[in-house]
Amino acid sequence: MAADPSPAPTSLSFPRSTFAKLTPGPFLHAHLKQNPPIRPSGRTLTQFREQQITTGSLTHSHGSAVVRLGDTTVVCSVQGEILKAADIPSPPDESADNEDLLETLGLLVPNIELSTGCSPAHLPGNPPSTLAQSLSWKVRTLLYGSEIVNPEDLQIMFTAPKIDEEDDAPVPEVKAYWTLYLDIMFISLDGNPFDAAWLAVMAALRTTRLPRASWDADREAVVCSPALEHYAHLTLHTTPVTATFAVFSTANPLKQRSEAESWVLTDPDTSEEEVCREALTVTVDGKRVLGIDKAGGRVIGMEAVEECVKLTFARWKEVSTILP
Amino acid sequence: MASTIVLPGEPLGPSATNIPGPGSHIHAGHLFSSLAGPLAKSSTSKSTPNPTLTVARPSGILIPETGTTVLGRITRTNPRLANLSILALGPSGEHTCRDSFPAIIRQQDIRATEIDKVKVAESFRVGDVVRATVISLGDERSYFCSTAKNELGVVMAVSEGGNQMVPVSWREFLDERTGARELRKVAKPV
Amino acid sequence: MQADRRRLNAPAGGTAPPVFASANTSPPRRRRKADEHRKIFLQTGIVPSAAGSAYYELPPDPATPPLTRKSSLKITCTVHGPRPLPRNAAFSPNLLLTTHVKYAPFATKTRRGYVRDSSERDLGLHLETALRGVVIGERWPKSAADVVITVLEGEDDGPAGAHSGDMGSGWGMLSVLAGCITVASAAIVDAGIDCVDLVSGGVAALVHDQSSEITTVLDPAPAEHVTRAACLVAYLQSRDEITEMWMKGDAGGDLGGLIESAVQSATLARTVLVEAVKDSTEARVAAMSPPELPSTDAASKGRPKDVVTTG
């Protein structure tokens, strides 16, 4: 048969979803090559998915939020429990640095649960995967590092009454601490778990109301007031907002480096995450950058990081207004 | 034309006057639906006086069955067989599978003619997208597939230089950028 | 609780839930009739990446006075399958059905752990029994299906203040199992797995009323009364068959009557199930009809667009 130089596109009329499944890389590439570049979901390169935040639906939690970021759905619950100062095995020094006190005592305990059947790749029956463990650790690092909660807000103080007139004024003592358990469970996962999880954590913390706790010297225990009007919101000192980006590149060891093209995709979904080898997460609060976390690849340089930081500041403005 | 939607457990008709088609089952002399979907009644003729009642599954076929045409990607090759990962069902892959199904194409099932002289390395390479039919459910690990027909074989391939290739004959793909040709068992464009 | 090395653990020293000076809520009283089921919210397709999924909720009654503690059952279910058998499994000519039930740590009054405990495994087994009688396994050789249930909020075990089983492993578990059966049925049908019928769960209980008389109630909320006996059934209406039954407590002489009441409760739940499945199937069929037309119109912003992809 004579060689046919022209391509034969009409011989391959697969539906979109089949192309996406058979050749995910070229499928995404064909979309990004367009002018202007567009993603298979119809989003632009810098567009986040639509988010929906609902709070307060869990009865047994002091604060809760359900966040939907596109098809990713996550539930965060904040439950407060009491840690008695007397029970702490190695109590920190009186003069210990306040900044590390929260972390040393371990008063914020986040855990991300992915093995809920939220996607076919995350079925129960296995211990937490590397992804789940690293996400939990990232949330923990951000919670402590951003100093969103101060130890004073979680302390339960007690001032012993003066017994004799000649005693000095009694010094208030820390008798117990509130410990906050943040349980983050994924109902559905379609990419970018960290942004969704952090958004849920923020929404849940901002709507958390703890009962008023006081030290009962007779019982040697903490007793809380049941009155609803005595419940108080947590004092939050910062509003960190995160944004995650993935980089799609056609760089190929078989081809020239200069021929490679790359695009930075904001808020990637699962199909995009699977063909991207490089990712970047930026965390900001107001005008400060709290952290930049980059993984893999060599496409993103200083310029691209600055672009992403700009986008994250814009995202901060958007999110801080809609957070409850 | 809107056909009625039936739900599992809904009675469809007596089994004496109806033939059960896919998506239905018989219980106590009566036909019932097994799926939630539109009900279809086949036409009757002199030779088949009873209509066949079928309930269509809105999500389409779910697992490969003997005779299904499938699309998949080659994951491994060795001199006796090629491993295929089935990704979509149907001749143009209308139904993508959520989980890929492992399958095997044995050397003797690659082509219809001169099957003992066939070389797997000259028919498939890892990463090729292949159209095949399922010939058997196989063992607990893999389905068995065959590409021994003209319209079956490699539909998409990437050259050693990393470029998409176009089919030029039943045996060759051409990399237009470099001009190189590579041997494959090519599927005839449909 | 031993420290789980793969999760972030409680601070050294251990914590305890807050103790209140007095009960902070008044116990709820059953406001509906003895044969009335709570309103059920059931929706399928909540997890698009799974083959089938559904969400079941008993929303709190808006009419309850504000200081009354009200919990509302919330269960999600995803079905993954039919999928290839896992590596070590032997060839099976029927569908290999596995169920997983897990309570979220915040689902009950007392915090639960992340590791599955025996009560959750027990629930999973009861659920599997209920579903096995419904799924037509012979149509799916060499395949497996996983039914994964997450209980986001469980049912209280008894009136507030009662210390028996704050873990939800007493009477509350029956209502949770009934919800699990109904939601799993919706998710399995959503996945397109052949079933002989829709199966719904129903609970009936013998309770001591304020007058200390024993009455039968359908869909008991254990927080609302003192329960003496309760029965759960998984019921197939078109065949009038029961695939699973679980009875707790002392039913006295009228065992058959209690089972009948449970069947009645399951029938009430089934009406919601039928409606939910019908709605989602109609939506799916309607979405299927117009074929996907390739369009390179750049004006259609925000919708997936086709691009020419050469092979």
Instruction: Provide the residue ranges of all domains of chain B, joining segments of one domain with +.
Output: 5-55, 69-183
Query: Domain count of chain A?
Result: 2
Going A226 to A230 to A231 to A234, the CA torsion angle's sign is negative
Query: Subunits with at least 3 CB pairs below 8 A relative to chain C?
Result: A, B
- Cα dist from C274 to A209, B53, B149, C199, C224, whole Å: 40, 21, 46, 10, 28
Record: contact B167-A8, CB cut-off 8 A:
yes
Q: What is the pLDDT, as a whole number, of residue C67?
A: 53
- Specify the DSSP class assigned to residue C111: P
Q: Is residue C86 less than 8 Å (CB to CB) from chain A? A: no
One-letter identity of residue B104: I
Measured between alpha carbons, how far is A164 from A69 in angstroms, rounded to an integer?
Answer: 61
Contact C142, B137 (CB under 8 A): yes
Domains of chain C (ranges; CATH) run 41-86+94-287 (3.30.230.70)
Of B129, B164, B167, nearest to A22 by CB-CB distance is B129
Whether residues A136 and A251 fall in one domain: no
The 10s digit of each residue's pLDDT in C121-142 is 999 999 999 999 899 988 888 8
pLDDT band at C274 (very low <50, low <70, confident <90, very high): very high
**A14: in domain:** no
Domain final residue, candidates A195, A211, A233 = A233
- Closest C-alpha among C157, C224, C216 to residue C34: C216
Query: Subunits with at least 3 CB pairs below 8 A relative to chain A?
Result: B, C
Domain final residue, candidates A198, A233, A268 = A233
Record: contact C189-B7, CB cut-off 8 A:
yes
C179's tokens = 């919800």
C83's tokens = 């999928």
Whether residues A36 and A127 fall in one domain: no
Whether residues A68 and A199 fall in one domain: yes
Mean pLDDT of C33-60: 92
Record: contact A18-B96, CB cut-off 8 A:
yes
pLDDT band at C296 (very low <50, low <70, confident <90, very high): very low
Q: What percent of chain C has pLDDT over 90?
A: 47
Contacts of A62 (CB under 8 A, 6+ apart): A78, A79, A80, A208, A209, A210
Q: What is the pLDDT, as a whole number, of residue A100?
A: 80
Lowest mean pLDDT among A22-36, A229-243, C20-34: C20-34
Q: What is the pLDDT, as a whole number, of residue C24?
A: 57
Record: contact A15-C292, CB cut-off 8 A:
yes
Record: contact B168-A252, CB cut-off 8 A:
no
Contact A85, A172 (CB under 8 A): no
Q: Is residue A33 less than 8 Å (CB to CB) from chain B? A: no
Record: contact C281-B8, CB cut-off 8 A:
no
Q: What is the pLDDT, as a whole number, of residue C31?
A: 78
Full-model pTM: 0.89
Nearest-Cα residue of chain B relative to residue C84? B101
Record: contact A118-C311, CB cut-off 8 A:
no
pLDDT band at C68 (very low <50, low <70, confident <90, very high): low
Whether residues A70 and A203 fall in one domain: yes
Measured between alpha carbons, how far is C169 from C120 in angstroms, rounded to an integer?
Answer: 9
Please say if the pLDDT value at position A298 is more than 90.
no
Record: contact A18-B168, CB cut-off 8 A:
no
Whether residues A211 and A289 fall in one domain: no
Q: Phi/psi of residue A145, each to 5°? A: -70, -30
Q: Is residue B10 less than 8 Å (CB to CB) from chain C? A: yes
Q: How far is C301 from chain B (nearest CA, A)?
A: 26
C143's tokens = 């395949």
Contact C50, A186 (CB under 8 A): no
Measured between alpha carbons, how far is C206 from C226 in angstroms, rounded to an integer?
Answer: 9
Q: What percent of chain A has pLDDT over 70?
A: 93
Of A8, A22, A252, nearest to B71 by CB-CB distance is A22
Mean pLDDT of C148-168: 70
Which CATH number is A266's domain given? 3.30.230.70
Q: What percent of chain A has pLDDT over 90?
A: 57
Measured between alpha carbons, how far is B42 from B18 in angstroms, rounded to an integer?
Answer: 10
pLDDT band at C146 (very low <50, low <70, confident <90, very high): very high
**A162: in domain:** yes
Measured between alpha carbons, how far is B169 from C167 in angstroms, rounded to an integer?
Answer: 69
Record: contact A118-C47, CB cut-off 8 A:
yes
Domains B5-55 and B69-183 share a fold: yes
**A106: in domain:** yes
Please say if the pLDDT value at position C304 is more than 70.
no
Contact A265, A45 (CB under 8 A): yes
Whether residues A80 and A179 fall in one domain: yes
One-letter identity of residue A239: T
A 250-279 near B (Cβ less than 8 A):
252, 254-255
Please say if the pLDDT value at position A8 is more than 60.
no
pLDDT band at B47 (very low <50, low <70, confident <90, very high): confident
Domain final residue, candidates A205, A233, A261 = A233
The CATH code of the domain at B69-183 is: 2.40.50.140
Mean pLDDT of A124-151: 91
Whether residues A229 and A251 fall in one domain: no
Whether residues A149 and A287 fall in one domain: no
Q: How far is C97 from chain B (nearest CA, A)?
A: 15
Nearest-Cα residue of chain A relative to residue C80? A120
Whether residues A30 and A115 fall in one domain: no
Q: Is residue B9 less than 8 Å (CB to CB) from chain C? A: yes
Q: What is the pLDDT, as a whole number, of residue A167?
A: 66
Measured between alpha carbons, how far is C247 from B129 in angstroms, rounded to an integer?
Answer: 55
Q: Phi/psi of residue C195, each to 5°? A: -130, 150
Q: Is residue C271 less than 8 Å (CB to CB) from chain B? A: no
Whether residues A93 and A189 fall in one domain: yes
- Domain membership of residue A301 as a residue range: 24-47+241-322
Q: Phi/psi of residue A233, each to 5°? A: -70, 155
The CATH code of the domain at B5-55 is: 2.40.50.100
Please say if the pLDDT value at position C15 is more than 50.
yes
**A75: in domain:** yes
Please say if the pLDDT value at position C289 is more than 80.
no
Q: What is the pLDDT, as a whole number, of residue A16?
A: 86
ipTM above 0.95, yes or no: no
Largest CA distance in chain B: 68
Q: Is residue B26 less than 8 Å (CB to CB) from chain C? A: no
- The residue among A16, A23, A27, A255 with the most chain B CBs within 10 A of its CB, best to mutate, is A23
**A200: in domain:** yes
Record: contact A1-B167, CB cut-off 8 A:
no
Whether residues A164 and A272 fall in one domain: no
The 10s digit of each residue's pLDDT in A109-132 is 999 999 999 999 899 988 888 999
Q: What is the pLDDT, as a whole number, of residue C290?
A: 57
Whether residues A305 and A185 fall in one domain: no
The 10s digit of each residue's pLDDT in B110-169 is 998 888 888 999 999 999 999 999 999 887 788 999 999 999 999 999 988 888 899 998
C208's tokens = 């001591």
One-letter identity of residue A227: A
Q: What mean pLDDT value characterizes chain C?
A: 83
Of C51, C237, C238, nearest to B98 by CB-CB distance is C51
The 10s digit of each residue's pLDDT in B58-67 is 887 888 889 9
Mean pLDDT of A211-218: 89
Chain B residues near residue A14 by CB distance under 8 angstroms: 71, 92-93
Mean pLDDT of C10-22: 85
The 10s digit of each residue's pLDDT in C181-233 is 999 999 999 999 999 999 999 999 998 876 777 888 899 888 888 888 999 99
A 43-82 near C (Cβ less than 8 A):
43, 57-61, 64, 71, 73, 75, 77, 79-82
- Closest C-alpha among A242, A314, A320 to residue A281: A242
Q: How far is A167 from chain C (nearest CA, A)?
A: 31
Q: What is the pLDDT, as a whole number, of residue A110?
A: 95
pLDDT band at C310 (very low <50, low <70, confident <90, very high): very low
